[in-house]
Amino acid sequence: MKEKILVTGGTGYIGSHTVIELQNAGYDVVIIDNLSNSNADVIDNIEQVTGIRPAFEKLDCLDYEGMDALFTKYKGIKAVIHFAASKAVGESVQKPLLYYRNNIGSLVNLLELMPKHGVEGIVFSSSCTVYGQPDELPVTEKAPIKKAESPYGNTKQINEQIIRDTVTSGAPINAILLRYFNPIGAHPSALVGELPNGVPQNLIPFLTQTAIGIREKLSVFGNDYNTPDGSCIRDYIYVVDLAKAHVVAINRILEKKQKAQVEVFNIGTGRGLSVLELIHIFETATGVKLNYQIAGRRAGDIEQVWANPELANKELGWKAETSMEDTLRSAWNWQLKLRERGIQ
Ligand code: WQD
């Protein structure tokens, strides 16, 4: 009997890749998404990749009655992977209340409804933004949580605390918090990938849109940081490797292998790459020359962060396996496929 897993935000970038890996692992997946930042066509693409069409309900996690009815309709959901959230750092500074209402209200609804419907586990999509600029690198899960640099980062910190407080209060919930670093790339089929609305905020979609000619030039936000080549350093992780970490976390919860009711893991490669290094790897891996310029720093950027992923490697038996060359080639193939399909 296939265990049923609810994926909130499952038509989004990381969510859609995770649905594919859950189906590949034999899980029965139910997706809910309010489609505020994604498209229902993703369901067709997931079906094309796996041959299995996941159940889908257009629903906002803020809709308590709708969520209650969802759990009643899809009896037997064993666990939830909670991706649904607003996630643009810059936008969160402009619209903090939208971020607090959406990101916190959604989680509170979920946590209230889970015990009522016998849902025992949650895997929460957290972020390395909770660390701010770490004092020591690579950063471990024991690093101090610093004052968030944005309302978006603050909602991740608050949500982690809400989960801990709920478990401490005696709620029959087991939780795994996955702190992502920088997810990039696309599914090897090039049928699923990152499709930001409007002008991309994140580096890789802007980079591939520049490479294909949609954008005229990529601006590198600063080359005067205290790093070897002056540009910011991040831990870029292939989105499929990240998706697989969610399956491992779900397995761990359902097989009752957790060592604590709330566990936290850094999901990164352990390798820091600067923006300029990444551009050069893209050019070498794809043979495509990139038009870029050095621009001023972007407000809110931290200088450098990369993961110490040893805890996830050892405890979860999970490791990011994919080379940066293959990761960037997947992003480029996705951009080419979008043009072929007339989408961008
Ligand atoms: C990466 C680097 C930029 C665009 C954020 C969130 C994180 C996660 C991923 C949601 C930085 C530089 C970027 C450009 C550039 N979000 N850059 N030119 O800010 O590290 O992380 O997005 O899950 O939680 O914090 O990602 O891709 O925006 O930037 O030079 O046009 O690329 O300065 O150094 P970031 P990013």
Question: Are 173 and 120 within 8 A, CB to CB?
Answer: yes
> Which of 157, 229, 294, 298 is the best mutation target for the ligand 1 pocket, counting ligand atoms within 8 Å of the beta carbon and taking the most?
298
Distance 76 CA to ligand 1 centre (A): 38
Q: What is the CB-side half-sphere exposure of residue 24 using CA atoms within 13 A? A: 16
Residue-level pLDDT at 91: 86
Residue-level pLDDT at 263: 98
Rounded Cα distance between 249 and 265, Å, is 10
Residue-level pLDDT at 113: 98
Rounded Cα distance between 161 and 115, Å, is 18
Q: Which tens digit of pLDDT belongs to each residue from 66-101? A: 999 999 999 999 999 999 999 888 889 999 999 999
Name residues contacting ligand 1 (CB within 6 A). 87, 89, 127, 129, 182, 201-203, 206, 218-221, 232, 234, 275, 298, 301
Residue by residue, what is the 3-state secondary structure of 318-332?
CCCCCCHHHHHHHHH
CA 156 to ligand 1: nearest atom: 24
CA 201 to ligand 1: nearest atom: 28
CA 127 to ligand 1: nearest atom: 24
Residue-level pLDDT at 120: 94
Residue with tokens 């810059």: 90
**Integer CA distances (angstroms), 29 to 1, 59, 92, 171, in order:** 13, 15, 30, 24
Question: Are 292 and 279 within 8 A, CB to CB?
Answer: yes
Residues forming the active site: 152
Distance 105 CA to ligand 1 centre (A): 25
Dihedral sign computed on CA atoms, order 202, 313, 28, 3: negative
From the list 22, 11, 3, 12, the residue with the least C-alpha distance to 243 is 22
Distance 336 CA to ligand 1 centre (A): 22
Distance 203 CA to ligand 1 centre (A): 6
Averaged pLDDT in 10-residue chunks for the chain of 344 residues? 93 98 98 94 97 98 98 98 92 94 98 97 96 96 92 96 98 98 98 91 96 97 98 98 98 98 98 98 98 93 96 98 98 97 87
CA 305 to ligand 1: nearest atom: 20
Residue-level pLDDT at 150: 87
